[in-house]
Structure formats: C-alpha cells, structure tokens
Structure 1
Amino acid sequence: MRVEGLLQGKAVMITGASSGIGAAAARLFAAEGADVVLMARRKDQLAAVARDIAEAGGRATVLAGDVTDPGDVERVVAGAVEAYGRLDGAFNNAGWATAGTPLHETDDSVFERVIDVNLRGVWHCMKYQIRAMLAAGSGGSIVNTASVAAVLATGATASYIAAKHAVVGLTKAAADEYGGQGIRVNSLVVGSTLTELMQQVLTDIPALEEPFVSRSMQKRMAEPAEVAQAAAWLLSGRASFVTGTALPVDGGWTAR
C-alpha cells in the first residue's frame, strides 16, 4: 500500500509562521505534502522559513501581514487561492501574550492588544478562510491555536485567559455552523512550549521554568514540532470525523 503524506496535495495557510509553532508547522506541513502559505508580520523571517521548505523540495508562498488587520487577512487568503487555486486548510496560530499585571491594574491598551491578536485575529482569519472554502465547494479544515489557558485559570493574565476561552467557543460555533458543508474546525489546547519567545522568557526569568514544567505529567515542555504534528493530523483526512473539539497537546496538564 502506498502511504502518502498526511497533507499531500492540500493548500494550507499558516499564521504566526515566522517562528515557534508556526514555523515548525510550515516545515512539517510542507514535508507532509502540502503547499503552504506563510503569514506573519516579519517578512524576512518568513522568507527564511520558505527557503528551508524550498531546499527540502516543498512549495511555500510568503504573504506577510497582520492578523489584526482584516484587509491583510483578506489579501492573504486571496493570495493563497491565486497561488494554488484553492484553500483546503488553515492553521490560525498567531498569538501574543505579556507577563502583564493583575486585572485591576491592567491598562486597557494591553487588554485590547491581547484580544486583537488572539481573538479578533482568529475571527478575521476564519471569516475569509471559510468564505474561500465555501466558494470552492469542496470543504476544508481549520485548526485554531488555543491554550491550557482556554480551559483553566493558569496564572496567565486575565485578558489572555479570556481570549483563549473565546477561541475555543468560536471554534465550536464555527464547527457547528459549517459542519454540514464539509468544513471541520478544531482547536489545540497547547501547554508550555519551547518557542523562541519562551526561551527568552526563561533566560530573563529562570525561576519560571519550574512551574511551566511541573504542571505537565511528562515533566517537560513541548517542542514546537510536537504541537505542529497535532495540527497536521487535525487538518488531514485522517481526522475526517473530528470537529468542534479542543484537543489537548499539553503533556497531561489539563487532565488533572
């Protein structure tokens, strides 16, 4: 039996693709046979990821943009369809967080920024991605990056916890609305992950490593590629009867 890549022949859009989980997903999805569209604000870093993919024999299109700008998102989705003729899948992974302050001391501008990137960004992406999928008439699959903060008060800022809870709710609502039209929508409940940002945080505040690690049953943090593997499966036909779920990729953090 011939076994093809999980995403063979699919066109997939990835946000937050310039580093961390998004960059790992871009490389993995391409290795699994997808044509990928890379979106983030940092064009130079996107170009570096695209070069890696090309050197490995894959195809990647760089379309820089900001998920908080609906015009940017509309342009990138249109660019994906122009480049590959369709949009089969999307990994809405862009996010932003800050160590921040207690709720009553948090500036409104910080709250708005957290909501803009983590919630409105997903809203903008799904709005235009679903339109493209409906226009093509062949269904599709969307995965949104949530967090353990989507189901628990983790100690993260209140605005971040609220935004990630909302991402899970938005995912379930979209899954319900479009399931009959062949579009699956799922989210990932991601635990502490060794992204570039996390590594910088641990360099600045080494004491944070212990709580990040101890909450996992596996007593470690995830590698970005481990999260990307879960996203790849959900985007693939092998998850054909999975929709509306919030899949934990957290080393057992939320199982307790």
Structure 2
Amino acid sequence: MAQQVDPDQFTTPFMPTATKRRDPYPAIDPSKPSNSQKGKIIIITGASGGLEAAAARVWARAGATGIVIAARRIDALEKIATELNKISPSSKVLPVKADITSEEQVKSLFASVQTTFGRPADVLINNAGYLKDDQLIGETAPNEWWTGIEINLKAQPEPKKPTGTIITVSSGRAGITAEGGSAYNISKIAEQKLNEHLQLEYPTLRVFTTMPGISPTEMATPYWLQFAHDHEDLTGMLALYLAQPRADFLKGSMVGVNWDIVAGKVFQTSWLPILPFNGGKGLGA
C-alpha cells in the first residue's frame, strides 16, 4: 500500500494565520480597485517564465503603468510582452535582456527604465537566482558549491536611490534542512538576513521577502509536484498588497503567499521553523 502524502506538510509549519490560502482570493484580486497599480512602474527579474511571468500578468491586470520584464532570454521576454500588451493595452511593457549577476547589465537595466519612463521604478520583484541540488558538503568542489550562494545573494539589484519597494522571491526551503541542498537552502535564508539589513540601513525603502509556496511550474520536480497546490498567481497578487502602505508593518519580514492578509496584522517576524527533510532528490521548489 502506497504511503499517503500530506499535501500540507511543507505549508502548515510556516503558517502564522489560521486560514491557509492556496488560491486567489478577493483581498488580493488585481481587479479590485484598492489593488490598482495605475501610475506604478514595476521591474520583474527572472520573468522569462514561471511565477514571475505570472506576476507580470497579474500586474498587467492591475493596470500598472509600466511593466519591465528582465531575464537572459529575450525571445521568451518578447513573447510574454505580447501577452501583457493584450491584457492591458494601456500598460507600457519593456522587455530587457539582462543577467543580474553582472553589475554592468544591472546598471544598464536601471538606465533603460530611466530612459523609457523618465524616472526610476516604484517596485522591484527580484526573482532571478540559481538552483542546483545533490551538492553534498565535502564532496562538491568548493567553487561549485559557492556558486549558488554567490549568485543568489549577488543577484540582488540595488536601486540608485533608496526609495521604493523591493520584494525578493525566496523559498520555503530557507526553513528546510535537506541532504544535498545546503548551498541553495543557506542562500535562501541568507537572502532574508540581507533584506533585513537593507531595510535597517535604508529605512526609506520598503523591503520584503516572500515565500512563493509550491506551484506546478516548470521548476517543480516530480517529488514536489505532489505538494504543488498553490496557484501561480499568488506571488504576484501578494506583491500588490506589499506594494501598498498598509503592508508597512511587515517591512523587513519574510511573508508567505499562503498567509491570509484578511486576518489582519500577522506576526512580524523573520522566524522560520527548521524542518528536517530526507526525501526527494533534485529538489526544485
């Protein structure tokens, strides 16, 4: 008899609210007037597919004035740009080929935004990163192991001026200890500490880290698909909420897409439970 799988075993331990959200709900619906992003310019990195392409579509539905999508694959970006123009003809969409581990390309990205819109962006959703598992400590070349740490921390675009909202899409794996996943998991919890320091050192910024849940995107390996019940739009929809002053009490915190914002002021904390995990080679959430 096959062992039954609890679909919430990687969701419930991270919940500070009684209600668990796995699907879009009215409070974060982009069609709701209170979630309108008219007048806002947003940059979304790693937007060639998956959750961030979904986030771009959410922000188009919310009527964002400018949507800048950046990634290394310009062909994929141009395809998504066509979709966004159909969703919101009034939004100006700017696809930019950029590797955000390159300081020069990051500078070029922000310069393109300034040239196109005449001002900096209001919101940055930072998603680009690096994932490789099965890297056992002591059995992986130090430079290879360090690559994941370096890219996931270095790939944090910094604004020229300390204003606006930065939302880093992290992972629940910041709270999981998994064989072979040390570099990725450590980099994810390090992202949170980096954002806490960024918020402290630049109080005029609004800085958040998000746990995107587990969605059935192309990144989900067969192991994770059995837990992938979170709608892909939740990350972009949560960003609609975080981009507004009503979320200021959560600045510097890690916030999960499964949390219920209707419940009011959930715990403001960077605490994460540390979950032992022994299964599933080639983690991809």
Regarding TM over 0.5, the answer is yes
TM-score, normalising length: structure 2: 0.73
CA drift at 1:227: 1.8
Aligned position for 1:173: 197
Q: 1:6 aligns with which of 16, 19, 36?
A: 36
Query: Which one has a larger percent helix, Structure 1 or Structure 2?
Result: 1
Which whole-Å CA distance do the structure 1 matches of 2:211 and 2:77 have between them?
Answer: 25
Runs of 4+ in 1 over 4 A off after TM superposition: none
Aligned position for 2:230: 222
Query: Residue 50 of structure 2 contacts residue 217 of structure 2 at CA under 8 Å; is this kept in 1?
Result: yes
Give the number of the structure with larger relative contact order, counting CA–CA contacts within 8 Å between residues 6 or more apart.
Answer: 2
Q: 2:79 aligns with which of 48, 59, 66?
A: 48
Which whole-Å CA distance do the structure 1 matches of 2:178 and 2:238 have between them?
Answer: 22
1:187 paired to 2:209: yes
CA RMSD of aligned residues (A): 2.3
1:248 paired to 2:256: yes
What stretches of structure 2 of length at least 5 have no aligned partner? 1-31, 261-271, 276-285
Aligned length: 228
Which whole-Å CA distance do the structure 2 matches of 1:88 and 1:251 have between them?
Answer: 24
Which whole-Å CA distance do the structure 1 matches of 2:253 and 2:36 have between them?
Answer: 19
Q: 1:110 aligns with which of 133, 144, 147?
A: 144
CA displacement, residues 74-109 of structure 1 (integer Å, 9 cap, x when unaligned): 110111122122211100011221232322212334
CA drift at 1:5: 4.0
Distance 1:237 1:158, change over 3 A: same
Which whole-Å CA distance do the structure 2 matches of 1:165 and 1:86 have between them?
Answer: 28
Q: Percent same amino acid among aligned pairs?
A: 26
Distance 1:156 1:81, change over 3 A: farther
Aligned position for 1:205: none
Query: Residue 89 of structure 1 contacts residue 140 of structure 1 at CA under 8 Å; is this kept in 2?
Result: yes
User: What is the letter of the counterpart of residue 117 of structure 1?
Assistant: I
Which whole-Å CA distance do the structure 1 matches of 2:37 and 2:247 have between them?
Answer: 11
What stretches of structure 1 of length at least 5 have no aligned partner? 203-207, 214-219
Q: 2:69 aligns with which of 38, 42, 45?
A: 38
TM-score, normalising length: structure 1: 0.81
CA displacement, residues 42-96 of structure 1 (integer Å, 9 cap, x when unaligned): 1000111111011122321011110111111111011112212221110001122
